[in-house]
Chain A
């Protein structure tokens, strides 16, 4: 979880930027990749990645289970990156072209224009849908349990698997409620955090309908 979100965001950001490039060689491969990743169930991606993970990281990570897990987490990050790239692309495109021209006319390089003009404005609009995506990813990390990660969901399954039949019925409810509560707490903390950032990025005169 701690790996998937920042990695997904970083890659998503670069992809969104690449998508808007006037160079086809940059924008086109990203388009294909995004479409592919959005069209494949994340569970399939995770299992597929885990299967090849050990081979892929041979020599880098010794423990094959760990390697499989890392690659699977990476795959999940890529999956999320595809969604985040599209969210950010919408944000980037919301910045009026004239402002980009003005930034250029001041002598800003494309990188500075992105950092000082596009990104601050794009984020303001992208944060609510990004919050959605983060909430989804947090719960998608449960999929990593299928390839051996000790994440919350599989801990619950293990615990229930150990108890007898009567115990399962009694405990099941409690365990799943607790797990749901923990997932909720994490997700809520993240989305509240995003709300704070959103407030900080608000511009007087541009608050829109909500305020």
Chain B
């Protein structure tokens, strides 16, 4: 579904990604772990070309997408993304946030978009908040609207960039529950998170990143119980200790 091959990225003199390769199969949930500044978010953004790799290849559904002939918008339409800071459009209601991609990008008719938007918000448990503006919602509710916004586009995969890091503790569970449910339904997902419980329960595979490289990967039980790479060991003992 998603394949990265030897991806490099520089920000000025900073070498953020140093030859990263990874593959995510259809229906798979992959969790990206690593200390902050290790390149996780940048790697995630290379998948939907919010960041253009300086070298290497990105494939989505078998199509090489980081080349001149492919419009990045076409790639992004097919891959949903959920951000740490929600990034809802503050001048639009919850429902409008969910439907704007349908009506303005996919050119879905208003009424059909509305029906779909309502269904998506119901799915994340926000049927009662259709007409609320982001500023009137809690962080957890905003993030669930953001998830509904991503799902409305019928994405082939969804990227989560620390979806619970900006939330007050009491709202973390409601968001993780929605993401877990999505995983059960077979959505392909790449999740950057510091929620170790979530990684343990939901991820099929854990990737550990540091200094722009993937240092270790494996099933979560194995990774948390006996990390092999010294830096992965240090990381695990720090977060579990």
Residue ranges of A at the interface with B (Cβ–Cβ < 8 Å): 96, 98-99, 101-109, 112, 116-117, 120-121, 124, 201, 203-206
B105 touches A102 (CB 8 A): no
Q: Tell me whether A204 and B153 are in contact (CB under 8 A).
A: no
B133 touches A203 (CB 8 A): yes
Q: B90 touches which one: A104, A109, A112, A206 (CB < 8 A)?
A: A206
Chain B: interface residue total (CB-CB under 8 A): 29
User: Inside 8 A of B89's CB, which chain A residues have their CB?
Assistant: 99, 102-103, 116-117, 121
A47–B151 alpha-carbon span in the complex (Å): 59
Give A117 to B76 CA distance when docked, in angstroms.
Answer: 17
How long is the Cα–Cα vector from A117 to B88 in the complex, in angstroms?
Answer: 10
The yes or no answer to B91 lying at the interface (CB within 8 A) is yes
On chain B, the residues within 8 Å of A99 by CB distance are: 87-90
Chain B neighbourhood of A203, CB < 8 A: 90-91, 133, 135
Sample of 25 A–B contacts (CB below 8 Å): A98-B83, A98-B87, A101-B50, A101-B83, A102-B83, A102-B149, A105-B48, A105-B83, A106-B76, A106-B105, A106-B149, A106-B153, A107-B74, A107-B76, A107-B77, A107-B105, A107-B153, A108-B73, A108-B104, A116-B104, A121-B89, A121-B91, A124-B91, A203-B133, A204-B133
Distance of A121 Cα from B97 Cα, bound (Å) = 14
Given contacts A105-B80, A203-B135, A206-B133, 20 further A-B pairs with CB under 8 A are A96-B87, A98-B85, A99-B87, A101-B83, A102-B83, A102-B88, A104-B76, A105-B83, A106-B101, A107-B73, A107-B76, A107-B106, A108-B104, A112-B105, A117-B89, A120-B91, A121-B89, A203-B90, A204-B136, A206-B135
